[in-house]
Amino acid sequence: MNPVIIIVGYAASGKTTLAQRLANDLGFAFVDLGSIIRRAAIDYIKNENYQDEAETSRRLADKNSIANYINQLTLTPRIADDGNLIVEVNGSRLDIENYQLRQGFLDDKTLLLAKEIRPKLILFQQETARLTPVVFSARNDIAFEKDEAIRIFIDPGISNRVRRRALFEGTAFFDLPKNRRRDLLNRVVGKEWESIDLGVALHKESIVEMGFILFDNKRGIEKSLDELTILTKNLLETKGWLSNNMEREGSDCLRRSSERI
């Protein structure tokens, strides 16, 4: 199996941004597991504009229909002719930049499917790791034990998460009226606990016991990326996962980091 890095965190923690930038610096493939679940949710709901809430709710309550869909769901990683990793969901190439995958509407919906998709997502992760070195961004359960992957939990603090969620939804947090600030805070914290109750996210208080490394993401993106890159390279070296080629790439990465600092 190739080197595997798992970047885990709650919604709006900055995990996906950091994981994607880290993969680029290391020359690894990048996979956003949350986007796979969101794509699968869209395919299942079959309602691209989400205008019919009643029909969406009906389909998400239909356990037999969900089971049939999951049974037929295909998650396929493959290496393209140019050497890059391609992820296919039900035969269609996943585009993580697709705006539909970032709509806040999906936050609640994907939690209802994530637990059911988990077995196939675990197999997908294992198959991907056999193909290429990879950085996974994840909010749900992951496929690798402590000795099989570098596992890092991103912790930006509640206040940073709330501010990032507000910007994600199009408004600066302090531009919101007080009642909407309170609502946003409740939603961010509520989603955290809802996902824990459904068993599709890690609880901060237990992650160290599970072998995860806490990473404090309370600085700017460039500073956080520099520190995360150095941390990850040290862990790769400790595990003996640095080939000669990776060592050269890593040296270039650290040089770029020092230049940014």
Q: What is the pLDDT of residue 256?
A: 42
pLDDT number for residue 124: 95
pLDDT value at residue 261 = 34
Q: List the Cα angle 224/227/231 in 5-degree steps.
A: 135
In tens, the pLDDT along 113-159 reads 777 888 999 999 999 999 999 999 987 557 888 788 999 988 776 67
Domain locations along the chain:
1-28+134-261, 35-132
Mean pLDDT for the chain overall: 78
For 38: left if phi > 0, alpha if psi spans -120 to 50, otherwise beta; the answer is alpha
Q: Which two tokens stand for residue 10?
A: 């709650």
Total H helices, total E strands in the chain: 10, 8
Predicted structure pTM score: 0.79
Longest pairwise C-alpha distance within the chain: 56
Does residue 37 contact residue 102 with C-beta atoms inside 8 Å? Answer: no
In this model, does residue 198 exceed pLDDT 90? no
Length of the chain measured in residues? 261
Torsion of CA 41, 43, 44, 48, to 10 degrees: 80
- Alpha-carbon span 249 to 136, nearest angstrom: 19
The fold of 1-28+134-261 is Rossmann fold (3.40.50)
For 28-63, what is each residue's pLDDT tens digit?
999 999 889 888 888 887 754 455 667 777 777 888
